[in-house]
Amino acid sequence: MREALAEHLADLEQRILSDLEHAADALTTVAAAVQDPARQRIKRIAFDGRTLRGKALEAHAELVSLTARQAPVAGDLRLVLALIEVSHHTALIANQFALISEQLANLDPEVADPDNTSDKLARMASIASIQLRKATGSFRHRDLAAARELDPADDQLDLLNRQIADTATCTGATTEQRELEFRHVLIARSLERIGDNAVDIAEQAAFLLTGRSNSPTHPTPTAAAEPDRRAPPRGPRHRSRRFAHALADADAQLTAVVDWTPST
């Protein structure tokens, strides 16, 4: 029976990781769409998001059912728990694809982008794609060193995200350009969250190897070690106050400009 369970888990893992690799491919479409929001690209992004979410929810339900019926032993249970978390983060990534496609569909290609924000968004999409591939690889190959590399690399996404928000809140452009910039802010926020989810997936690779829940991607320094001088972690739960206010202002101003309230 345990052999059958192991085979089932291996199949589920392969399916989930393959879906994540497809999501990384879809981010290259996002990179192209932010610079040229062709309708066909936008439809593809929306379709990829719906498909990814459906598969993630299916895998999550299958894993929960498997745990209830099979009562896996410690080694298998660790993999089950990690895959449940990975499938959850896969669904969250799918949600961001849906939000990105909504914003892209409302972009006016005739409005000028004087700050070249679309170039920064394309860079963010490319970085997020790389991050997602690395996270998937670290899980597939049980590579702790690779998992630990993702968190520092995520700072690039955080920096670009803040730059785009700052540009939008400081702009003195026309109403149409302000709308464009604030839609860019929402796309940037989605890409940053995809990067955060990639880091969380890498943490599950670390969990598989260490058995520690919510294992940090960086090893804990010893008491005698030099104090950690890095900036505090940034992400949906650790965003700076200034940046949080900038995003709130951007959302409020976009609502006033186009009479539209973004999804939460």
| Residue 257 pLDDT > 60 | no
Q: How far apart are CA 168 and CA 170, in angstroms?
A: 6
Q: Are 195 and 233 in contact (CB under 8 A)?
A: no
Q: How far apart are CA 90 and CA 77, in angstroms?
A: 20
Structure confidence at residue 28 as a pLDDT band (50, 70, 90): very high
Task: Give tens-digit pLDDT for 63-108.
Answer: 999 888 887 777 788 999 999 999 999 999 999 999 999 999 999 8
173 CA to centre of own chain: 30
Task: Give tens-digit pLDDT for 195-248.
Answer: 999 999 999 999 999 988 654 444 443 333 333 333 444 444 443 444 444 445
Q: Is 155 within a domain? A: yes
Q: Is 89 within a domain? A: yes
Q: Residue 96's pLDDT is what?
A: 98
| Residue 249 pLDDT > 80 | no
Q: Residue 189's pLDDT is what?
A: 97
Q: Residue 204's pLDDT is what?
A: 96
Q: Is 226 within a domain? A: no
Q: Residue 213's pLDDT is what?
A: 65
Q: Is 263 within a domain? A: no
What token pair was written down for 46? 């929306």
| Residue carrying structure tokens 């498909």 | 51
Domain extent, residue 180, equals 2-220+231-258
Name the residue with higher pLDDT: 43 or 217.
43
Q: Is 194 within a domain? A: yes
- Domain with residue 172: its CATH number is 1.20.58.220
Q: Is 122 within a domain? A: yes
Q: Which residues, 6 or more positions from 198, have their beta carbon under 8 angstroms from its beta carbon? A: 128, 131, 132, 134, 135, 150, 154
Q: Is 29 within a domain? A: yes
Name the residue with higher pLDDT: 231 or 137.
137
**Which spans in the chain are helix H?**
2-33, 39-70, 74-105, 117-140, 144-153, 155-170, 175-210, 241-258
> How many independent structural domains does the chain possess?
1
Q: Are 125 and 31 in contact (CB under 8 A)?
A: yes
Task: Give tens-digit pLDDT for 104-122.
Answer: 999 988 898 888 899 999 9
Q: Residue 171's pLDDT is what?
A: 59
Eight-class DSSP state of 219 = P
Residue type present at position 19: D
Task: Give tens-digit pLDDT for 141-191.
Answer: 999 999 999 988 899 999 999 999 998 877 566 888 889 999 999 999 999
Q: Residue 40's pLDDT is what?
A: 96
Q: Is 254 within a domain? A: yes
